[in-house]
């Protein structure tokens, strides 16, 4: 029975870390987009760079402030929580990059169609 409880606690910590970081990334990305100049907001390469920089900043935050090696006041000694956050960064940044690249492909296809007409 203790193994089942420990597994549940580990899974819960992983999910908590994942959910926290997904929410944090989405909120920060939207805030950064709102603060970006209008002409850059619609520039795909700028948005790709924003996603990249936000992912790196979040990963550094986990390493420097939160994790077992961290020095921040919110230090949490949970490998599962850290792992959940890192997985969230990976999934979130990959999804945003794919979304932006799809928009680029759609825009290029629209230009090709207009040139063909």
String of DSSP letters for 55-116: HHHHHHHIIIIISTT--STT----HHHHHHHHHHHHHHHHHHHHHHHHHHHHHHHHHHHHHH
DSSP letter for 42, please. Answer: T
Over 70: is that where the pLDDT of 76 sits? no
The model's pLDDT over 58-74, given as tens digits with 9 standing for 90+, comes to: 988 887 776 555 555 55
The model's pLDDT over 29-41, given as tens digits with 9 standing for 90+, comes to: 999 888 887 777 7
Number of domains in the chain: 1
Phi, psi of 36 (to 5 degrees): -85, 145
Question: What is the span of the domain harbouring residue 7?
Answer: 2-116
Q: How far apart are the first and last CA of the chain?
A: 70
């Amino acid at each position: 029975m203790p193994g089942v409880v420990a597994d549940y606690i580990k899974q819960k910590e992983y999910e908590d870390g994942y959910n926290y970081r997904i929410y944090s990334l989405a909120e920060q990305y939207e805030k950064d987009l709102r603060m970006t100049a209008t002409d850059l907001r619609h520039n795909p390469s700028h948005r790709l760079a924003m996603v990249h920089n936000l992912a790196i900043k979040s990963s550094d935050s986990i390493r420097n402030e939160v994790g077992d090696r961290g020095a921040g006041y919110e230090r949490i000694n949970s490998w599962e929580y850290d792992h959940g956050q890192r997985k969230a960064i990976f999934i979130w940044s990959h999804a945003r990059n794919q979304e932006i690249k799809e928009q680029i492909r759609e825009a290029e296809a629209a230009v090709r169609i207009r040139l063909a007409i």
